[in-house]
Amino acid sequence: MRDIRTLDLNLLKALDALLDERSVTRAAERLGLTQPAVSGMLTRLRESFDDPLFVRTQRGIVPTLRATELAGPVKQVLGDVETLLQPSTFEPSTAAFTLSLAATDYALQAVVVPFLAKLRRRAPGVRVAVRPVEDERVQAQFERGDLDLALMTPDTVLPDLHARRLFDETYVCALRADHPAAADPITVDRLCQLDHALVSLTGERFWGVTDDALAKLGRQRRVVFTVTSFLVLASVLRTTDLIAVVPRRLVGGVDGIVMREPPVDIPGFTKVAAWHDRSHRDPGHRWARALLFETCECLEAGDDELAGDWRPRR
């Protein structure tokens, strides 16, 4: 064979049919082609392999020694190509790959923890690596293959990423169960009288969405503690008289913490999952995303059992 770049894959299919059928006519019928077309392909095969490949006899055509040598490798090549063209199968119970996921502290607790509980039951061989969300670096991380999935808000998702809504979140007032303010609904006056804890990415800014809402009413609250992580907030609320206005999923069902509806209108937010086209069609990643979507749908419906036998306890 002179140059593999000049060999049409269809010629190998014709060679395979000729080797099996030992007849140009029958090979043509098998391939759904005309006899002259197969004869032309045989001519090209002879040129490519620099060998007659077949000689005529009274009973049809018989392969040369070179053609006989090619029979096994040709079937192997065609079989491998067929395998490549078939959809990949994915079996969660035996899968073994790493899912790199970017999430905020909030999404880690509200989404990743219940997702991981379900994932461990269905695909114990799949590892999950979680990193912080860095909006300015997400695109580059996706393109380099450092990141497979990111839990973001719609306004931070770049246009060329795939994205799907997970859920809409609302805010609640969270405080310890025996807090003096826990017995009654919280009014605007009471909200402004209490000392507040606030989760701030910088840990320094004593202002958040609740302050924006109060400012529209000409009111102001007193924020006395800021922290950069949601993960410590439950412990702070349980051991102090502080109150916090936080996403509902962060404190729902947490031991020792109760929720009260805010007395002001505080805009919520939407959480989405985003991923790159690089992993869009991969069977394993498609399955993992579907499991994430299922987990969030179950949590949104209040079905903890389907969400993975997960209960938020702190």
Last residue in a domain, options 49, 70, 85: 85
Taking only the tens place, the pLDDT of each residue in 164-192 is 999 999 999 999 999 999 998 999 999 99
Taking only the tens place, the pLDDT of each residue in 272-308 is 999 998 889 888 999 999 999 999 998 877 654 444 4
Taking only the tens place, the pLDDT of each residue in 136-162 is 888 888 888 889 999 999 999 988 899
**Is there a single domain that holds both residue 251 and residue 179?**
yes
Q: Is residue 99 within 8 Å of residue 285, measured between CB atoms?
A: yes
Residue 291 forms part of a structural domain: yes
Please name the amino acid found at residue 36: P
CATH number reported for the structural domain that contains residue 234 in this entry? 3.40.190.10
**Is there a single domain that holds both residue 228 and residue 281?**
no
Output 2 or 128, whichever has higher pLDDT.
128
Taking only the tens place, the pLDDT of each residue in 89-105 is 789 999 999 999 999 98
Share of the chain above pLDDT 70, in %: 91
**Is there a single domain that holds both residue 160 and residue 274?**
yes
pLDDT for the residue 311: 38
Residue 312 forms part of a structural domain: no
Closest CA to 49 of 106, 6, 98: 6
Average pLDDT over residues 211-226: 96
**Is there a single domain that holds both residue 185 and residue 259?**
yes
Check pLDDT > 80 for residue 130: yes
Residue 224 forms part of a structural domain: yes
Last residue in a domain, options 65, 85, 105: 85
Residue 313 forms part of a structural domain: no
Output 156 or 59, whichever has higher pLDDT.
156
- Burial of 77 from C-beta contacts in 10 A (0-12 / 13-18 / 19+): middle
**Is there a single domain that holds both residue 224 and residue 246?**
yes
- Burial of 208 from C-beta contacts in 10 A (0-12 / 13-18 / 19+): buried
Residue 307 forms part of a structural domain: no
Q: What are phi and psi of 222, to 5 degrees?
A: -120, 105
Q: Within 13 Å, how many C-alpha atoms sit on residue 213's CB side?
A: 15
Last residue in a domain, options 85, 113, 146: 85
Q: What are phi and psi of 195, to 5 degrees?
A: -90, 135
Instruction: Write out the DSSP string of the chain.
Output: ---GGG--HHHHHHHHHHHHHS-HHHHHHHHT--HHHHHHHHHHHHHHHTS--EEEETTEEEE-HHHHHHHHHHHHHHHHHHHHHSPPP--GGG---EEEEE--HHHIIIIIHHHHHHHHHH-TT-EEEEE---TTTHHHHHHHTS-SEEEE-GGGS-TTSEEEEEEEE-EEEEEETT-TTTTSPPPHHHHHHSEEEEE-SSS-----HHHHHHHHTT---EEEEEES-GGGHHHHHHHSS-BEEEEHHHHTT-TTEEEE--SS----EEEEEEE-GGGTT-HHHHHHHHHHHHHHHHHHTT-TTTTTS-----
Residues 6+ apart with CB under 8 A from 150: 101, 102, 103, 133, 138, 142, 273, 274, 275
pLDDT for the residue 78: 85
The domain total for the chain is 3
How far is Cα 254 from Cα 237, in angstroms, rounded to an integer? 11
Q: Is residue 154 within 8 Å of residue 268, measured between CB atoms?
A: no
Q: What are phi and psi of 220, to 5 degrees?
A: -150, 140
Residue 286 forms part of a structural domain: yes
pLDDT for the residue 193: 96
The residue segments making up the domain with residue 283 are 92-168+270-300
Please name the amino acid found at residue 218: G
Average pLDDT over residues 223-237: 91
**Is there a single domain that holds both residue 19 and residue 129?**
no
How far is Cα 296 from Cα 111, in angstroms, rounded to an integer? 7
Please name the amino acid found at residue 302: G
